[in-house]
Amino acid sequence: MLFPFLNWRTLLTLAAIVIVTLSIFFSQYLSRKIAREEKVKIEQWVEALKDINNADITDTRLASQILMENSKDIPMIAVTEKGVVLDHRNIDSLRAEQDPRYIDEKLREFKSQNEPVVWRNPHNMDENNLVYYGESRLLKQIRYFPIVQLAVLAMFLTVVVIAISTRNKSTQNQVWAGMAKETAHQLGTPLSSLQGWVEILKESPGNEKIAGEMSKDVDRLKLVSDRFGKIGSTPQLEESDILKQIHQMVQYLRRRAPEKVEFEVRSSQPEVVVMVNPPLFDWVMENLLKNALDAMESTGTISIQVVQEPAKVIVDVTDSGKGILKKNIPLVFKPGFSTKKRGWGLGLSLSKRIIEQYHRGVLMVKHSEPGKGTTFRIELPR
């Protein structure tokens, strides 16, 4: 039951959770231990102060040493029961002189952190003095250590995930490129042979019509081979009027589409020139238009709107088909995803790769509503 969920991401996450949990518990243990030790130090400091103020004790060397050692790191404020400040240690003395409210603020802070240590006033036995103390620098560092460790661990995990993701994408790109090159190579040999047979047919009387149709199919196969060849290598971009290309692709598909399907191409400009690779851009438009045709089930309208902006060109392909379920929108560009009974689910994945990797643009689902249609948007930098 658990084996499908045991992958490197799960194990890495579990290891991180275990490390952080153990670190938090250990830090809490250390902080409690240090807090107890600091309370003992303050109590010893108060007792040593009593001994020094006791006239009956003549040897105060130990008490003096305790006063020096125990008051090095722990911030403290000694006050009377009426709130009069008697002494303070390890707080900002300069600020205390300049800002009268500073002592009161630190006193409130210490009261919220620890219970005071009672020190009976040697000059007035009916009145107690109180020593309030805060957290030492070491205790604060121990308390904040898990947060720092969590931040470092999060950064480490982020770097690891990015590195692994980049490696996987690189491997995936190499597989795509290798498959594309091999496909173009495999198509090359039979295409050369077919071209030769078409030329022989053209020279034979009575076969002109057959040869013409076969020539169109061979040209189409050559175009497919050329597209795969460009996918397998870095394609060259050139200035091209994509509006003209869109019209040509619409004309090509209109002849093959059902009669009840209408095509519309709208643009405020007579031509829209962008840096693209024409065969690959045609491939993207063909994939989008074919998907639109499949979604409409032989009737409806396909509209292409081209908008030229200062920094980019936008191409919206809208159909009046069955639309895409909301849960499926994030999956439409995943390799292998398809709602059709036939097909490998690679058309939109290839199209996204062509637009975003080779043209530095964006291909996305702008809007889709089940039963009303879908709009795919292409954004190309000018």
In the three-class reduction of DSSP (H, G, I as helix; E, B as strand; rest coil), residue 373 is classed as strand
Q: pLDDT tens digits for 208-219?
A: 778 777 887 777
Question: Is the pLDDT assigned to residue 1 strictly greater than 50?
Answer: no
Per-residue confidence band for 133, with pLDDT thresholds at 50, 70 and 90 = confident
Instruction: Examine residue 373 and state whether it is found in any structural domain, yes or no.
Output: yes
When divided into structural domains, the chain yields a total of 3
Do 286 and 374 fall within a single domain? Answer: yes
Stronger pLDDT, 177 or 298, i.e. the higher one: 298
pLDDT at 194 over 90: no
Contact 237, 279 (CB under 8 A): no
Please check the confidence at residue 342 and state whether its pLDDT lies above 60.
no
pLDDT at residue 66, as a whole number: 73
Cα-Cα-Cα-Cα dihedral sign, residues 248, 253, 258, 260: negative
Q: How far is CA 284 from the centre of its chain?
A: 27
Residues 205 and 246 occupy one common structural domain:
no
Calpha distance 57→53 (Å, rounded): 8
Q: For residue range 241-253, list pLDDT tens digits in order.
A: 999 999 999 998 8
Residue 306, domain member (yes or no): yes
* Segment 346-362 mean pLDDT: 87
Q: Give the structural domain span for 334.
A: 237-381
Domain co-membership, 375 together with 310: yes
Q: Are residues 246 and 328 in the same domain?
A: yes
Shared-domain flag, residues 324 and 253:
yes
135 by Cβ neighbours in 10 Å (0-12 / 13-18 / 19+) ranks as buried
Q: Which residue stretches of 204-314 are H helix?
A: 208-231, 242-254, 278-296
**Domain shared by 209 and 275, yes or no:** no
Query: Dihedral (C-alpha) 65, 71, 72, 74: value to the nearest 10 degrees?
Result: 150
- C-beta neighbour count of 290 within 10 angstroms: 15
Please, which pLDDT band fits residue 104 given cuts at 50, 70 and 90?
confident
Interval 252-309: pLDDT, tens: 888 888 888 999 999 988 999 999 998 889 989 998 999 899 888 788 999 999 999 9
108 shares its domain with 244? no
Return the number of other C-beta atoms located less than 10 Å from residue 171's C-beta. Answer: 10
pLDDT of residue 313: 95
pLDDT tens digits along 68-87: 776 678 888 888 887 788 88
- Do 331 and 242 belong to one domain? yes
Q: Using CA of residue 320, residue 326, residue 330, residue 333, what is the dihedral sign?
A: negative
**pLDDT above 90 (res 63):** no
Six-digit token string for 108: 């409130």
DSSP string, 192-208: HHHHHHHHHHHHSTT-H
Rg (CA), the chain: 39
Quick one: how far is CA 350 from the chain centroid? 22
Q: Which of 157, 185, 220 is the last residue of a domain?
A: 220
Report whether pLDDT(344) > 60. no
